[in-house]
Structure formats: structure tokens, C-alpha cells
A and B are shown apart, each in its own frame.
Chain A
Amino acid sequence: MANMRTMSFDAVIVGGGGSGMRAALQLAQSGYKTAVITKVFPTRSHTVSAQGGITCAIASDDPNDKWQWHMYDTIKGSDYIGDQEAIEYMCKTGPEAVFELEHMGLPFSRNENGRIYQRPFGGQSKDFGEGGQAARTCAAADRTGHALLHTLYQGNLKNETVFLNEWFAVDLVKNADNAVVGVIAINIETGETVYVKSKATVFATGGAGRIYASTTNAHICTGDGIGMAMRAGFPVQDMEMWQFHPTGIHGAGTLVTEGCRGEGGYLINKDGERFMERYAPNAKDLAGRDVVARSMVQEILAGRGCGENGDHVFLKLDHLGEETLNAKLPGILELSRTFAHADPVVEPIPVVPTCHYMMGGIPTNVDGQALTLDDQGNEQVVEGFYACGEAACVSVHGANRLGGNSLLDLVVFGRASGLFIEKQLREGVELKDATEDDIERAMQVLNRINSSQQGEKASVLRAELQTIMQNHFGVFRRGDFMKEGIEKLKALRPRIENVQLSDTSNAFNTARIEALELQNLLEVAEATAVAAEWRTESRGAHAREDFQERDDKNWLCHSIYLPESQTVAKRDVNFTPKTREAFEPKVRTY
């Protein structure tokens, strides 16, 4: 590897979505030499697809709103395995982080008094669940993610962040002390492979919804950070927890925001019945996403689904009137007309629960530092390694994320990671240089892929993986069936490792990128499968037919998947918020 170029930075952020660009902004403002490695031009990142808004107690809709109420909702929504210290930090710091975005120019929708418009979202309450529905989700029409991502990109342009656009990070480089000292990355345009050396490496690589056949996620959501961390031997947390969004467009999988129900839309079955009244008498269509998604599947299984095959339900919006729909949900009108051939002004949208969000990820503390377990099973910080956003599990979402909390998570913890790294860099970071062997180790997967002439096509293997996950690890899960899925994944591993690369050219070789992404999908799928089979209870998004109850005695814990031994360990949930007593687990109803 003597001829491979090295680029050096104080901090490298992998991922140019919301959390990555928020972290980068913090570091660029501090004057440290910062680079963002991103496999797509930053504004093409998946944050752009977020619609409904960013949930935060800015006290605009309700001047008496309190971040503690938001904290309560989030903990309840997490089914009590969200870390309370992290949730407290997010809800408390949130308003400051949202106002910063507004000051940077984010075009939020407005109320008559000129303040930011907030809409109701699922799982929101006033007065710790006692005061009825809250409206806490700050919105820019139904294009909040787009507005947020572009604003962050613009902020980074202003602060002259270095962007390595259309570069793909392949694997982590670790030194003799097991600290992270950068990544191996490919410049997609030229095919050049470079060692990008850094004192701080931040994974802001987003989710991995593409492990499922049907997902709201972009093609690029392939869990690259999770795959890299696992190959480097680092653990991942709560990977069994996948959110199925109630309203993906039937057939296409594209997202229809929960804001539709926030604005007064509701779900109906083939009899035209508003069935959520039966499942969640108080919150109805604005119950937690896990609750709504399960109710929909139960309606479909009971033969009350809509359409020729009875395999979806309808989201009814026409009663809101054309004017409201045009003002509040213009993007949804576009999407529904394009992908469902249904005009919501006059007819309902066919929807079905669709894989949407990875609650699990790389375990971190509130400062974004990645955590691992030492030989005795004690928690330990990985020097030089950070994660934020969907790739991280800090954990603010626990077993079920509330709508609007992902944008808040990525802004708050992107910012927190940046602030902490800035402090570390100021105090001085001393990490041993990587040796030739260390770098060679990080090149193994790439070398294997580059020389793989035999094997099967990436597209075929990917489809097979997605089908296994869709069938064996969906909304409802069962032990024996999951075991079968795990065996299928085991059989798939050698085939995926031996994926064929028929295109060996250098310039913009997307076949090579897809072969590498497939390796990451496999790691994510395996961690998901093993952790899901291991947790013998139902909690949040993890619903088992063979263990239907939540079991706090045995399972009020995080799962930690250890890739080297392929085993799962328990980790305590944090119940020690800093400013108040903890919220104790209660029966969760809406």
C-alpha cells in the first residue's frame, strides 16, 4: 500500500445528511480542519425525504409547553428502553438547536403571530399524558427535511467545510490500541482509493432500510456505518428495533407523512370504518407508530383490508378540503398523484406499514463517543470514534421512535458530537499512527471485492436478502420462523462475500459501490435477525406472536450484538436523568 495517498484532517465526518452536516458545521466554525465524506452530493442524502417536521418544545403553538412533557412522551414512546439521560438532553437542548436552524434561514411555516408553525404528531401529549393532544412538531409545510438539509448545506458552504462529494468510505482504520484513526475511502469519480487519516472519525451514515424489500428509505440507505463498525469488531445496539411506518404508499413504498393524520386525516378499512378508534380510543390515529402499524396489519389479517387483494388500508384526507391540503400537505398531493394515482383531494391514499427507521445502531454516549465492551464486559469508549443520527443508538428512541424525533435527534446529537470533538481537539488528541498492517487490514474487503470475478450478481443477492428480512423479520415475528430466517442468512453469507464484480473500471463504477453496500446490508441484517430472535418479549416495534407481552422483569434492557462472537448481551437502560427523577415504566396505552 506504499503507493496509496493519505489525506489528513482533524476531524472526518462520514455522511453528508442532517447529523453529519450539523457536526461538520460545528467543527468548521471552530476552525479545525474538517472534511465530510459523502457518497452522494450532500443535498441528495436521505434527510431530504423527511416530511412532517421536527418535534421540539419551542412553546409556539402552546406558550406553556414544556420540554419535560416532550421527554415524557419520548420515554413512553420508546416503551421505556430509551436512555433517559440522553432523552432529557435532546428535549432540553432541542429549542436552542431549532432556533439556530431558523437563524440560519430554515424557511419554517408560520403562525399569525410570526412564530414557527407546529402541528400535532403521534404520541404527543401535554402535562405528562394528562392534558390531551399536543402540537409540538415544527414544520416547513411537508418538506421539513428538504428545508433542513439545504439550510445545513448552505451553512456549511458559508463556513467553508471541505466536502469530499461522491466518495465512499469502505472500512475503518484501527491502530495498535484499537482506536479509530480514519477510514479507507474511494473517490467514486476516479476510482482512487485513499487513506483518510483523522483524529476524530464521526459516523453519520444514516439508516439501512434497504435490508427490507419494502421501505420508505432511499436506495442509498444501506447501513454503511453499521457494516464498517461491525467488521471492525465493534458492537451494535438494539438492532431488533425497526420502525414500520404506518403509511407507506401501497406498492411504491414511498412515505406519506404522519402529519396527514396530525392535520386531521384518518385511516379507514374496506367498510369505511375509522378502525383506530377501536385500537386506541384516546389518541386514535395519533397513537404511537408501532401501535398504528400493528392495528393496520390486524385489520388486513381480519379480512378488512382494501383493494383487490385486501392487502392495504386507506388514508382519508379529502374532508380536510383542497385549500388546507394545498397549504399544509402540498408534497403529499404530488407524491400520491405520482405513485398511487390517487388525488387525495377527492379520494383516499392506499397505504400499508413500510420499513422506515432503524432505532438501533452504534451505541454512543451523549457526546457521540462510540462505546464498546472490554473483555470483562465493561463499557468502554472507543478512542477517535463517534456516531450520530440514525447510525447511532444514543439511545433516544428505544423500542419505538416518535414522529418528528429523528430530525431533532440528528440536529441535537450532530451538534453535541461537534462540540465535544472541538473540546477534545483543543485539549490535544494523541493517537498512535496506523501501521502498514493496520491499513492493509482495512483494505481486505475492498481487495476481495475488486478481485471477485466468479460469484453471483449483487442485484440477485440483494433481492434475496431483502426477501428473507421482509418475510421473517417483519411487523409480527415468531421464534421458529426467525430461526429459519437466521439459517437462510447464514447460507447467504458466503455467497454475498463472494459477490461478482464484472465491472472493473475506475471511473464512476457504481457496480463496485453496490457490491460494497451489499456487504454492509448483510451485517445489518444479521445483527437484526439474531437480536430479534434473542429478545423473547414484545416491546415497541418488536412484536412477537409467541411472546406477546412486555416483560420488564427480564427485558427492560438494551441488546448489544457482538459481531465477533455473533452473540447478544444485555446492557442497562439509563434511568438517571440529570434534572429530575426518572420516569418509571408503566403500561403503555394510547
Chain B
Amino acid sequence: MLEVSIYRYNPEVDSEPYMQAFSYDTQGKDVMVLDVLEKLKTEDPTLVFRRSCREGVCGSDGVNISGKNGLACITPLSEVVKNNKLVIRPLPGLPVIRDLVIDMTQFYAQYEKIQPYLINNTPAPAIERLQSPEDRAKLDGLYECILCACCSTACPSFWWNPDKFIGPSGLLQAYRFLADSRDTGTEDRLANLDDPFSVFRCHGIMNCVQVCPKGLNPTKAIGHIRSMLLASAA
């Protein structure tokens, strides 16, 4: 039997959070962490977590698994179980609503700050705006973000300044639009980011890169934004 320890907190009954011990029969199978949670919920319906697609594209089930942020649905036990133990906590750094469900308001607010939509005020053509395959390739590794918050909640700079530092996820998206050949808002976008906190609180710790379940590299994107900011200041 696998020993599973899960963070529990229901604001209506618990004065403080606690870790609850469960056991799970793997039957020798290397299932996903979400399968474990689903099974345990059938035993204890009060256990609360988010989930939707169960295939790693919707970003609902970001949790902290044995110390590392990841998506429960695409993390197999073989990657995270140590000494027959699995520990599941909510993503760190943001308020907990209940059990594994966090309040993501600040995370989304940072996303909204970067104007996450294409800006192009020239009249649109009757067909699509053209874009070369080379220009389109510049968006690879950027547009795939699923807003799961694994990266931002693994980032010490975001923990200290969740209201002022955009965080890796938001900055990855900021660069997704800066890098888009169809976008004409570069000047405006850079001006919005040009302060001591929004971008420059990134200290290159690279936790974001380590945990991103989609294999994206926010630190690299942040580097590009820094270069653009420095170039525009020169």
C-alpha cells in the first residue's frame, strides 16, 4: 500500500491546515497522481481538488507533488514516489481556498496586466494577416502556456511580490505578443513593463523552467524582454 499524505483545510471546520494520511493500493500499476486523487475522493468525497481534461492541456490540476510543482494528471507515481511515500500539497505562495484548491486571483491579475491579446490597429485585410513560417516559429515555446501556475508559484520572486512582479507565466505571455510579427504594440508593451518590479525582479533562479509541465522556458523569454527593454532605453 502506498502511503499518501494530503494537505487538508476546510475554512468552515478547520482552524488550521493539517496533513491527512491515506493509503492507496497501486496494484503494481504506475498510475498518474490524479488517478490516486480520484480514487481517494471516491472514499472521502470531502477531498477537494481541481481537474478537467486529465491529459495535461487544461492546466487545472497543478499541485505540489512530493515537493515539486506539476500537473497531477501527467505525473506518474514512478517519478514522484520516494520510500513508498507520496505527499500532495497545494501550489505554494497563494492563498488556499480549500484543500488543494488555491485562490489564483493574483496570478490571473498579473496575466491581465500584460495585455494578453494581439494589438494591431491597422485595418485588417479581407483574408488572414500573412506571417512567414519563420516568424510563426518564433511563437513556438511561448503560445503553448496553459496558465497552470506551476511556474509562478515555484518562483521565490513571485512569492515575495505577487502584486508587483508579473511572474514567469505572465512574462512568457508578454514575450509571446512581443515576438509576434503581427503585433504593433511593442512600444506600449515595453513601456508597461519598464519599472523595477514587473520584469527585473526575476533573478534567474530558473525554478520555472524546472517545473513547467509543458517544457517551456520562461527564463529565456524574460531574457529577451530584458534585452528589448535595454535596447529601447539606449
Contact = CB atoms under 8 A, between A and B. Distances in A.
Are A and B part of the same complex?
yes
Interface in B21-56: 41-42, 45-46, 48-56
B128 A40 contact: no
Interface string B77-112: 000000000000000000001110100100010001
Nearest to A143: B144
Given A109-B136, A505-B12, A146 B127 contact: no
A507 B52 contact: no
B98 A339 contact: no
A43 B133 contact: no
A154 B180 CA distance: 15
Interface stretch (B116-124, B161-169, B189-197): B116-124
A503 B129 CA distance: 53
Given A43-B146, A457-B42, A507-B10, A157 B116 contact: yes
B118 to A, nearest CB: 3
B12 A507 contact: yes
Interface stretch (B57-65, B200-208, B223-231): B57-65
A43 B147 contact: yes
Given A49-B55, A507-B98, A107 B130 contact: no
B42 A459 contact: yes
B122 to A, nearest CB: 10
A503 to B, nearest CB: 4
Interface in B165-180: 177, 180
Interface in B122-161: 124, 126-133, 135-136, 139, 143-144, 146-147
A460 B144 CA distance: 36
A483 B10 CA distance: 45
B128 A115 contact: yes
Contacts of B10: 505, 507
A45 B59 CA distance: 10
A326 B132 CA distance: 19
A459 B118 contact: no
A105 B118 contact: yes
Interface in A500-514: 502-503, 505-511, 514
A458 B10 CA distance: 21
Interface residues on A, range: 35 or more
A155 B53 CA distance: 23
Interface string A498-528: 0000110111111100100000000000000
A432 interface: no
Contacts of A509: 48
A278 interface: no
B128 A58 contact: yes
A236 B57 CA distance: 31
Tell me if B's interface is mostly helix, strand, loop or mixed.
loop
Centre residue among B41, B57, B124, B144 by max chain A CB count within 10 A: B57
B45 A507 contact: no
A338 interface: yes
A219 interface: yes
Interface string A83-119: 0000000000001001100111101111111111000
Nearest to A95: B127
Given A40-B60, A113-B130, A338-B74, A158 B136 contact: no
A48 interface: yes
A318 interface: no
Contacts of B128: 58, 98-99, 102-103, 108, 115-116
Contacts of A109: 133, 136
Contacts of B48: 508-510
Interface string A128-154: 000000000000100100110010001
Contacts of B136: 107-110
B45 A502 contact: yes
A507 B48 CA distance: 10
Interface string A191-210: 00000000000000000000
Nearest to B99: A508
A338 B12 contact: no
Contacts of B177: 105
Contact of A102 (B49, B117, B129, B143): B129
A254 B13 contact: no
B57 A146 contact: yes
Contact of B52 (A146, A154, A220): A220
A545 B99 CA distance: 49
Contact of A110 (B99, B132, B147, B183): B132
Contact of A115 (B41, B60, B130, B180): B130
B14 to A, nearest CB: 10
A116 B127 CA distance: 10
A338 B57 CA distance: 13
B112 A157 contact: yes
Contacts of A459: 41-42, 45
B67 interface: no
Contact of B133 (A111, A154, A334, A458): A111
B117 A154 contact: yes
11 contacts: A46-B52, A99-B127, A105-B118, A109-B136, A110-B133, A146-B57, A158-B115, A218-B53, A460-B42, A503-B46, A511-B46
9 A-B pairs with the lowest CB-CB distances in the bound complex, closest first = A105-B118, A114-B130, A459-B42, A154-B117, A511-B45, A102-B128, A44-B58, A508-B98, A503-B46
Given A95-B127, A508-B48, 16 more contacts: A48-B57, A58-B128, A102-B129, A105-B182, A115-B130, A143-B144, A157-B116, A189-B97, A218-B54, A252-B55, A335-B55, A335-B56, A505-B13, A507-B11, A508-B97, A510-B49
